[in-house]
Homo-oligomer: A and B are copies of this chain.
Amino acid sequence: MKAPIVTVPIHKVADGKMAPAQDWVAAEEPLQIRLSGRDLAITMRTPGHDRELAAGFLFSEGILRSPNQIASINPDERGAIEVKLAQGVDIDTAARNFYVTSSCGVCGKASIEALHAAGCASLSAALAYIDPATVLSLPAKLHLGQRIFEHTGGLHAAGLFGADGELLELREDVGRHNAVDKLVGAAFLGNRLPLSECILMLSGRVSFELVQKAVMAGIPVIAAVGAPSSLAVETALRFGMTLVGFLRDGRFNIYAGQARLER
């Protein structure tokens, strides 16, 4: 079984100094759920308890009603989880609503390759230098820009900043992916893509999905208040993105692309 946490080399920035260190990040890998030999759904999950995850998903979505409907749940040779139905059990999944994801369901590496296949190029040539002091200034500016968060504590914020630390645009949403889609959509409709001179600041954690959206939009730097996942780090490394996490209390961790923060 894959480990639920992964050790990664990072750089810590505190008190005006950058030093190499190690950190643990939560493992994130796609899991393809197959039902009766058919690809049904993909979820980005932390490895472990995959049989229970597949069973719980199928029950929660109203697809299965009783454990007796299941003949077996096992990983297949590609790493997908295969749910086989008991003899005589017939399930209709054709009439359901679906939510699109561009992730590949087999492994993280394949999810990253899918981004290459979609035409995404390395960001390493974009935005040569960012002042660490600029990065440190972002959380307060994001917070100042938020009108809703302070009332409810229930909204995620995504802010688009210039390399000089100026707030260009801010969106909030119950879903962090929606907040980023709103930012990117505004730039897309305004014909301002790629956002090669911008920093994306996030109020929460960083999953693969958010890094993927930034790569698509050509954003070379993500700075987040929360922790990144393993696949978020791998994707940032692969595409030459700078990924900053735990940006709070005057310090931060660099999970990828620390060269942009060095003179």
Give the contact stretch, choosing among A9-17, A23-31, A130-138.
A23-31
Query: Is A56 in contact with B185, judged by CB distance below 8 angstroms?
Result: yes
Chain A, 173-205, CB within 8 A of any chain B CB: 173-175, 177-178, 180-186, 188-191, 193, 205
| Chain A, interface SS category | mixed
Assuming the contacts A4-B155, A46-B173, asked whether A51 and B185 have C-beta atoms less than 8 A apart, the reply is yes
Interface size on A, residues (CB 8 A): 81
Query: Is A152 in contact with B186, judged by CB distance below 8 angstroms?
Result: no
A82 at the interface (CB under 8 A from B): no
What 0/1 readout, one digit per residue, does chain A (24-52) give for beta carbons within 8 Å of chain B?
11111000000000011111111001011
Query: Is A55 in contact with B173, judged by CB distance below 8 angstroms?
Result: no
Residues from chain B with a CB closer than 8 A to the CB of A181 are 43, 52-53, 56-57, 60
A257 at the interface (CB under 8 A from B): no
Residues from chain B with a CB closer than 8 A to the CB of A189 are 51-52, 55, 67, 70
Q: How far, in angstroms, from A129 to B135 measured CA to CA in the complex?
A: 49
A229 at the interface (CB under 8 A from B): yes
Query: Is B173 in contact with A67, judged by CB distance below 8 angstroms?
Result: no
Q: How far, in angstroms, from A52 to B64 measured CA to CA in the complex?
A: 36
A151 at the interface (CB under 8 A from B): yes
Residues from chain B with a CB closer than 8 A to the CB of A154 are 25-26, 205, 226-229
A96 at the interface (CB under 8 A from B): yes
A217 at the interface (CB under 8 A from B): yes
Q: How far, in angstroms, from A25 to B152 measured CA to CA in the complex?
A: 5
Residues from chain B with a CB closer than 8 A to the CB of A57 are 181, 185
Interchain CB contact (< 8 A) of A26 among B28, B60, B152, B228: B152
Q: Which 5 A-B pairs have the closest CB atoms?
A: A56-B185, A56-B181, A52-B185, A26-B154, A154-B227
With A27-B174, A60-B217, A99-B99 known, 14 other A-B pairs at CB within 8 A are: A5-B148, A25-B152, A39-B97, A41-B98, A51-B185, A52-B185, A53-B185, A56-B182, A56-B213, A59-B216, A62-B102, A62-B119, A96-B102, A154-B229
